[in-house]
């Protein structure tokens, strides 16, 4: 084979490799939107299929390590009818950076119509999401804190035990229903 032919083949292979890499990186925003849609439809297994083994999801100081913990959170969120809206998605290197709003029955009942995350970052491992980091808006976190304080002030001794049990039970479908029950009672009794 002549030197010019080998050089031409190497250039073609390089162009193809760069095209594949560029397409993969362009599809990362699409992958984030696909994850958002699956999560919003409460298709837990479809959403998890987009995550790499060992994925870590961080919501402020709460950390969910691995698919089993994220699955439990997604099932909890399904009971809460959680919905995400991702906005201003931008690819930066191997990450997608965006803002997010979360709506759910839990937030609605506590008096927070939209829980805002000012800084969100998803990183990737190949064609799967490797990490998700969500940082709350300070204003939204403050409003949530006031709502939780109001619930704690309302709670009688019996309800305080129930609240402590819910706080220590983690993210399960049963604890989600418990939260809905106690927050509904709080809203009814306080007419919030």
Q: Quote the strand ranges of the chain, DSSP E.
A: 51-59, 62-65, 83-92, 95-103, 115-125, 128-136
Residue 191 has phi, psi (to 5 degrees) of 50, 45
CATH class of the structural domain 13-190: alpha beta
Length of the chain: 192
Q: Could you report how far apart the first and last alpha carbons of the chain are, in Å?
A: 81
- The total of other beta-carbon atoms located within 10 Å of residue 18's CB is 10
CA distance 123 to 125: 7
The predicted-structure confidence for 107-131, as pLDDT tens digits, reads as follows 999 999 999 999 999 999 999 999 9
Confidence check: pLDDT of 78 > 60: yes
Angle at 159 between CA 155 and CA 161, to 5 degrees: 120
Percent of the chain with pLDDT over 90: 72
Residue 64: pLDDT band (50, 70, 90) is very high
Structural tokens at position 131? 């990490």
Per-residue model confidence (pLDDT) at position 100: 98
The predicted-structure confidence for 126-162, as pLDDT tens digits, reads as follows 999 999 999 999 999 999 999 999 998 998 877 888 8
Where along the chain do its domains lie? 13-190
Chain mean pLDDT for the chain: 88
Confidence check: pLDDT of 2 > 70: no
Confidence check: pLDDT of 87 > 90: yes
Per-residue model confidence (pLDDT) at position 5: 60
Least confident of 9-18, 61-70, 168-177: 9-18
CA distance 21 to 72: 33
Q: Compute the Cα dihedral for 41, 43, 48, 49 and give only its sign.
A: negative
Edge to edge, what strands does the sheet with 83-92 contain? Answer: 62-65, 51-59, 128-136, 115-125, 95-103, 83-92
Residue 19: pLDDT band (50, 70, 90) is very low
CA distance 173 to 74: 9
């Amino acid at each position: 084979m002549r030197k010019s032919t080998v050089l031409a083949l190497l250039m073609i292979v390089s162009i193809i490799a760069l095209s594949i890499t560029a397409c993969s990186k362009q599809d990362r925003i699409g992958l984030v939107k696909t994850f958002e849609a699956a999560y919003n439809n409460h298709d837990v297994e479809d959403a998890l299929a987009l995550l790499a083994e060992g994925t870590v999801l961080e919501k402020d100081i709460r950390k969910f390590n691995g698919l089993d913990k994220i699955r439990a959170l997604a099932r909890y969120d399904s009971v809460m009818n959680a919905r995400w809206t991702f906005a201003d998605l931008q690819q930066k290197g191997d990450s997608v950076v965006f803002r997010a709003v979360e709506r759910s029955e839990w937030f609605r009942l506590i008096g927070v119509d939209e829980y805002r995350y000012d800084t969100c970052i998803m990183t990737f491992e190949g064609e799967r999401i490797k990490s998700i980091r969500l940082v709350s808006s300070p204003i939204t976190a403050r409003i949530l804190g006031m709502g939780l304080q109001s619930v704690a002030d309302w709670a009688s001794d019996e309800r305080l035990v129930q609240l402590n049990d819910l706080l220590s039970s983690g993210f399960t479908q049963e604890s989600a229903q418990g939260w809905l029950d106690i927050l509904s009672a709080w809203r009814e009794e306080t007419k919030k």
